[in-house]
Chain A
């Protein structure tokens, strides 16, 4: 495989190598007749569709691989695409992996709306760009603290006054005495596309997009 693989006529799709998005992604591609020929530990594999190859990488890195044209297409969360800020096309909402990126505070904080979060507050998150953009738009200056996980414990430990984190059921927040007071964005899995690949492989990409959209409806 060459760098900027998206050369030639083959389609390369970047899929999550693990995590909550992996299995539904494999399933939806399977529905479109694209099954990997090798196991999930392999980062590059041919598929049952002779015109399509898969690369398995971290979900958070998928927009990067697509933006630079290493992969033509990718499947990853809308929240992740927004966090990278990279310009890629979002061709389809694949419907799975639904979650909200929420602002949450301690239940006993007395705050019930993100606009009430005072200037200078510390906000812990795995999504610093989305968080900063959100509070800038709100007109509140906050200090964004980037964590790599377990964000929900930051308020209890005194690291932050609020968090911006993924919540699909709300149980993790509840367990940590937090309450969601606003939704920053709603997310689900997206089929993303490199802007140049879209032009150079339009027919194949459009046909695959329609196939995947068809599976959803």
Chain B
């Protein structure tokens, strides 16, 4: 619990400094609204319950859709919102605790594309840095994949996504016989590096010029934030949620076998909710951040030892005065009647450390 609080506090401090307002979303929503935003694949895995009038409700499985819906229903065009919330969904795992997990995220509504995407990536990295988690980020692009599919007239989006997310040339070959397409997609799946990777794929495929310019500009912006060296392009980077339509990114750390967060651009979902605002955002797994801290023996988590103070008969008021002063300086302490304890501070006529017998200077 101590590490959870530490991570959350650090995240909140950074989010506040970057001007993001924290919101709380509801635990339950009407299922059809969430399905409209998050897409069929994801909504299969969220818990559903029935309301008294028969309508289907769902438990919160992720927060971005809720925030987009919230903004749409209130017709607000608020720029920067953040959250730290627990989410619940079916996950095929024996570890039940995985069904409930904590996410910290930020959504940036409106704004210019490159600047906003760079802000989202930089903010995510700074939040992790603040907790002592030196993560890196890989960038992909759902719009690049869509453009390549259109260019080579490949239709089955889901199967293409599956093939790319496995880096499986075999799966790809089931979808097209076009050798040029297979070469371009194979290059996309196997190359990882800076923005030049997009240029390489673009030259092989004969399209994606706009994507190459976008990634070049994104790198300039990330460089200004000081994070370009920790960002790589891997165009097979995918996110599970279907609402992303531009850049997507995944944050990771060596030694943790799963991504510790990710996000991307989701303008189309905003449109579905009737908002003509571009939007980008991300979520970090608080649970995996805590796991990363446990593995690194990070000692920045802070000293939360509680000083035990005891009063002898007739000295309670004197002891209350002492603990008030200690607490006002930030020291955590408890106050109880002395019953022969072997450690702590004992308040009588004198104030002494029980273990040593030394007198405490008031």
Residues of A within 8 A of B295 (CB): 4
A159-213 contacts to B (CB < 8 Å): 193-202, 206
Residues of A within 8 A of B167 (CB): 89-91, 193
Tell which of B168, B192, B253, B259 touches A90, judged by Cβ atoms closer than 8 Å.
B168
- The answer on a CB contact under 8 Å between A4 and B256 is yes
In this assembly, does A134 line the interface, its C-beta being within 8 Å of a C-beta of chain B? no
Residues of B within 8 A of A40 (CB): none
Complex A-B: 6 CB contacts under 8 Å? A7-B255, A69-B258, A78-B170, A89-B166, A90-B167, A195-B259
A89 to B166, CA, bound (A): 4
B239-263 contacts to A (CB < 8 Å): 252-259
Which chain B residue shows the least CB distance to A88? B166
- The answer on a CB contact under 8 Å between B257 and A6 is yes
Residues of B within 8 A of A89 (CB): 166-168
In this assembly, does B277 line the interface, its C-beta being within 8 Å of a C-beta of chain A? no
Min CB distance B177 to A, Å, is 17
The residues of B with any CB-CB pair to A shorter than 8 Å are 92, 136, 138, 165-170, 190, 192, 232, 234, 252-259, 295
A90 to B169, CA, bound (A): 8
A6 to B192, CA, bound (A): 20
- The answer on a CB contact under 8 Å between B170 and A6 is no
In this assembly, does A93 line the interface, its C-beta being within 8 Å of a C-beta of chain B? yes
- The answer on a CB contact under 8 Å between B254 and A200 is yes
Residues of A within 8 A of B258 (CB): 69, 195-196
The residues of A with any CB-CB pair to B shorter than 8 Å are 4, 6-8, 67-70, 78, 85, 87-91, 93, 193-202, 206
**Shortest 8 CB-CB contacts between residues of A and residues of B:** A69-B257, A7-B255, A200-B254, A89-B167, A90-B168, A196-B252, A68-B257, A90-B166
Residues of B within 8 A of A206 (CB): 190, 192
Residues of B within 8 A of A195 (CB): 258-259
Min CB distance A25 to B, Å, is 19
Min CB distance B256 to A, Å, is 7
Residue from A7, A68, A70, A199 with most neighbouring chain B CB atoms (10 Å): A199
A196 to B234, CA, bound (A): 12
Asked if A67 meets B257 with Cβ closer than 8 Å, knowing A196-B252, A199-B136, A202-B192, the reply is yes
A8 to B166, CA, bound (A): 24
Which chain B residue shows the least CB distance to A90? B168
State the total of A-B contacts with C-beta under 8 angstroms. 60
Residues of B within 8 A of A197 (CB): 257
Asked if A196 meets B166 with Cβ closer than 8 Å, knowing A4-B295, A202-B192, the reply is no
A205 to B288, CA, bound (A): 24
A161 to B345, CA, bound (A): 78
Asked if A90 meets B170 with Cβ closer than 8 Å, knowing A4-B295, A199-B192, A202-B192, the reply is yes
State the main secondary structure of chain A at its contact with B: mixed
A195 to B136, CA, bound (A): 13
Residues of B within 8 A of A194 (CB): 257
Given contacts A4-B295, A198-B192, 19 further A-B contacts (CB under 8 A): A4-B255, A4-B256, A6-B254, A6-B255, A7-B254, A7-B255, A69-B255, A85-B92, A88-B166, A93-B169, A196-B253, A196-B254, A196-B256, A196-B259, A199-B232, A200-B252, A200-B254, A202-B192, A202-B232
Min CB distance A51 to B, Å, is 15
Asked if A87 meets B166 with Cβ closer than 8 Å, knowing A67-B257, A199-B192, the reply is yes
A88 to B259, CA, bound (A): 12
Min CB distance B37 to A, Å, is 23
Which chain A residue shows the least CB distance to B291? A4
Residues of B within 8 A of A202 (CB): 192, 232
Min CB distance A87 to B, Å, is 7
A6 to B295, CA, bound (A): 13
Which chain A residue shows the least CB distance to B192? A202
Which chain A residue shows the least CB distance to B191? A206
Residues of A within 8 A of B234 (CB): 199
Residues of B within 8 A of A91 (CB): 167
Residues of B within 8 A of A78 (CB): 170
Residues of B within 8 A of A67 (CB): 257
- The answer on a CB contact under 8 Å between A199 and B255 is no
Min CB distance A190 to B, Å, is 8
A4 to B252, CA, bound (A): 14
Min CB distance B150 to A, Å, is 25
Min CB distance B158 to A, Å, is 12
A90 to B13, CA, bound (A): 40
A90 to B189, CA, bound (A): 11
Residues of A within 8 A of B170 (CB): 78, 90, 93
Which chain A residue shows the least CB distance to B258? A196
